Amino acid sequence: MSLKTLIKGVSLWSSAGFIHEQDVLIGDGRLLRIGRGLAETNAVTIDGRGWVGLPGLVDLHSHLGEPGREDRETLESGLLAAAWGGFTAVLGMPDTDPALDSETGIGYVLRRGDLIRGARILVCAAATKGRNGKELAELGRLQSAGAAAAGDAKPIRDASIVRRILEYTRMLDIPVLIEARDEGLSSGGVAHEGIQGGWLGLSGIPASAEWIALARDLLLAEEAGGRIHVQGVSTGRSLALIREAKSRGVRVSAECSFHHLILDDGALADYDTAKKLMPPLRPRRDVEALIEGVKEGVIDCVVTDHTPITPEEKDVEFDYAPFGAAGYEAALVALHTHLVRPGLLSWSELANATSLRPRAALGIEQPQFVDGERCDMVLFNPEPEYTLDAATWKSKARNTPFDGTRVVGRVEGVFLGDQVFGPLETEVEA
Amino acid sequence: MMLRQKDLLGLRSLSKAEIELVLDTAKPCKQIFERPVKKFPTLRGKVVVNLFYEASTRTRTSFELAGKWMSADVINISASSSSVVKGESLADTAKTLEALGADIVVMRHSASGSAHLLARSIKSRVINAGDGRHEHPTQGLLDLFTIQERKGRIEGLTVTIIGDILHSRVARSDIWGLLKLGATVRVAGPPTLLPPGLADWGIEIYHDVDRAIDGADVINVLRIQMERQASGLFPSLREYSALYGITKERLRNAKDDVMIMHPGPANLGVEITQEVVDDPRSVVRDQVSNGVAVRMALLYLMSGGDVSELENAD
């Protein structure tokens, strides 16, 4: 018989708020009992005083290298990294090679995911064939094959195609993920168009590239119906557009990456390509507006936009480096260090944006902290202060702007069914 | 007094005192032009590598001469941008140069920030000889030196920079240097060729070149790149020339003792006429000689030299 685990003194968060100093008895992949002063002889006891227990995080925006770019990340390394970062489910984007526009491709990823130790994988199907932005993919069949969302993971230039996708998916009731970016305005750009980029001599991506595409797609969603989920919101003014669409009853949800809640374009002064992101880092006033947007709920979800890229690809001139940063093992720690700890974001606001609302967007059930419930929990220790070292990551990628920076807090353990991840992995069983 | 940083990547990161140190050091260096034997022994045994990813005659020759007159071993490498395609990365090339014992690597590259990448890849000291549209600090220093030489000062002068500021590394280095030394800076150009956020740089912006010239002590005319027209930033060279070209005619509105600069090579008849380049108020040729002096000074300072030593040398 397997050993049980008893974690003592954790503060458990739920949508109703915190309940402090809870002991959690775990066995057979379930939360057997939760309460104060629990004792159990046949259990490994862990001192969890000061730790925060959250429902497992869900990432709505993940780029995994498999199939096609296994040099960047495999499902095995990516899903393990996600779990170590506190994520128990991630939504994989279809920008693989080949694109996830077929039942075979989606079936492959989902079945591979089932066999792998790590976070659960969900799949966003390509909305158009081969992500060509021209012909609808077989979205009905792809949904039957298990796709949880549809989107091309890149802008679709032709408004009539966006409209058709939104119309067609009304009968499927799945979210349509859009990248709001006018490529006529953004092409050739590598940084936000503003004073910082001007000083650094980097080609600009104006904020209007986002506003124009976002306004277009929100109007299309209003006209066509369907559920639209806006990926990678990066400017303060976009919030007004989303807020207004929501007030008109458009079924819209929105996300921004955790990088855009922490870093501004001033961080580019050293030309570190780990900070070359799409959308680009924006000025501080946008960062502040986005934080407000998360608190208010206009931004429903905070995502990692996990984009693993090899050092060979990133260690080049800023202009030539691919966009993106790996986020799984940086996100929660960085959000805690830079937002929760300084009081800019509460644990509740963070948990809503990374756990509750992403599940709502995908229509999956929110785990509860009640006796008998299957484990889906992350334990975070807000105390330890250390230098983040991406070389220790489970992810194959190292491309993070936070590498070598001081951070506070650590994911101690993630319990997902009968699997345990994190430093606790070697000590306990679920 | 020494330069604080390992590398010279731009004038934005230099202090006023450091800029003045380079200018002061360049003065004795310039005297070498008067000498029958143009050689200082100061950099004997040092290896200076000129790594040029972009074609350049003026800057490369200037650095080569500066290194040779200081007795350094100078190696020139013309790495076409296609070496990126061939698979050797900049960081890789840099490691090779370091292994060959380069003390100072001078680099010209088409990508902004590439000098930063080089500097953090190797222990050798790096001099940025122009990175994309970011900075061209040695051009900025030689421009400052030339203004100071002719005008006796920089503080309090009004300097007008005309043309494609958006794509100009020379303009950025000039602007930082001039602001740090207390000049008033004006820029003039069509709005499509001015960088975003320029209004917050602490300079004056003009679209009417005649007004920008009026009362200026110095006019610096930038080269207009032909490919900017192809990318639709202005309609035609003749329109650019009509609106912004510096002609003798246009200079009638300028101060009598206005000083005219151009970083070269000029598109004669487009942004500036031959007549203006040859005008006594033009310092275009001085800029070239001063470039060598300023680069000698930099190589010297970056090899750990002290200015007083140089003044006593014979």
The 10s digit of each residue's pLDDT in A26-81 is: 999 999 999 999 998 889 999 999 999 999 999 999 999 999 999 999 999 999 99
| Tokens 């200079």 -> residue | B251
pLDDT at A41: 86
Q: Compute the count of residue pairs across chains A and B with CB atoms less than 8 Å apart.
A: 68
pLDDT higher than threshold 60 for residue A124: yes
CB-based contact (8 Å) between A320 and chain B?
yes
Best of A185, A199, A270, A319 to disrupt the B interface (most B CBs within 10 Å) is A199
pLDDT at B225: 84
d(CA B58, CA A171): 67
Mean pLDDT of chain A: 97
SS3 (DSSP) at A41? coil
Instruction: Out of B90, B132, B197, name the one closest to residue A195 (CB).
Output: B197
pLDDT at B314: 47
CB-based contact (8 Å) between B206 and chain A?
no
- The Cα of A191 is separated from the nearest Cα of chain B by a number of Å equal to 12
CB-based contact (8 Å) between B136 and chain A?
no
Q: Which residue of A has its CA nearest to B197?
A: A195
pLDDT at B85: 56
What percentage of chain A reaches a pLDDT higher than 90?
Answer: 97
pLDDT at B304: 79
Best of A196, A202, A271 to disrupt the B interface (most B CBs within 10 Å) is A271
Residues of A within 8 A of B191 (CB-CB) are: none
Q: Which residue of A has its CA nearest to B193?
A: A198
Phi and psi (nearest 5°) for A372? 90, -15
Buried b (16+ CB within 10 A) or exposed e, B192-211: ebbbbbbeebebebbeebee
ipTM over 0.95: no
Instruction: Out of A194, A201, A315, name the one closest to residue B132 (CB).
Output: A201
CB-based contact (8 Å) between A197 and chain B?
yes
pLDDT at B81: 53
Residues of B within 8 A of A315 (CB-CB) are: 89, 91, 117
Residues of B within 8 A of A187 (CB-CB) are: none
From the list A305, A376, A389, A418, the catalytic residue is A305
- Reply yes or no on whether A305 is catalytic: yes
Please enumerate in sequence order all residues whose Cβ is within 8 A of that of B208, keeping only pairs 6 or more positions apart, or say none: B188
pLDDT higher than threshold 60 for residue A293: yes
CB-based contact (8 Å) between B201 and chain A?
yes
d(CA B174, CA B153): 15
CB-based contact (8 Å) between B228 and chain A?
no
CB-based contact (8 Å) between A196 and chain B?
yes
| Average of per-residue pLDDT across A277-290 | 98
CB-based contact (8 Å) between B226 and chain A?
no
| Average of per-residue pLDDT across A80-101 | 98
pLDDT tens digit sequence for A327-339: 999 999 999 999 9
Cβ distance A318 to B111 less than 8 Å, yes or no, reads: yes
CB-based contact (8 Å) between A404 and chain B?
no
| Average of per-residue pLDDT across A202-218 | 98
pLDDT at A387: 98
Instruction: Out of B113, B195, B200, name the one closest to residue A318 (CB).
Output: B113
pLDDT at A1: 42
Report the predicted TM-score, pTM, of the whole model to 2 decimal places: 0.95
d(CA A38, CA A40): 7
| Strands (E) located in B111-253 | 125-131, 158-162, 184-188, 204-206, 218-221
Cβ distance B196 to A197 less than 8 Å, yes or no, reads: yes
CB-based contact (8 Å) between A202 and chain B?
yes
Q: Is B267 exposed, middle or buried (0-12, 13-18, 19+ CB in 10 A)?
A: middle
**Cα–Cα distances in angstroms (integers) from residue A66 to residues A138, A214, A231, B246, in the given order:** 21, 29, 21, 58
Instruction: Out of A194, A200, A317, name the one closest to residue B90 (CB).
Output: A317
Cβ distance B117 to A316 less than 8 Å, yes or no, reads: yes
d(CA A21, CA A24): 10
| Tokens 């990926």 -> residue | A231
The ranges of chain B with pLDDT < 50 are 314
Instruction: Out of A196, A270, A319, name the one closest to residue B111 (CB).
Output: A319
pLDDT at B195: 94
Please enumerate in sequence order all residues whose Cβ is within 8 A of that of A20, keeping only pairs 6 or more positions apart, or say none: A11
Classify strands A149-151 and A175-179 as parallel, antiparallel or unpaired.
parallel
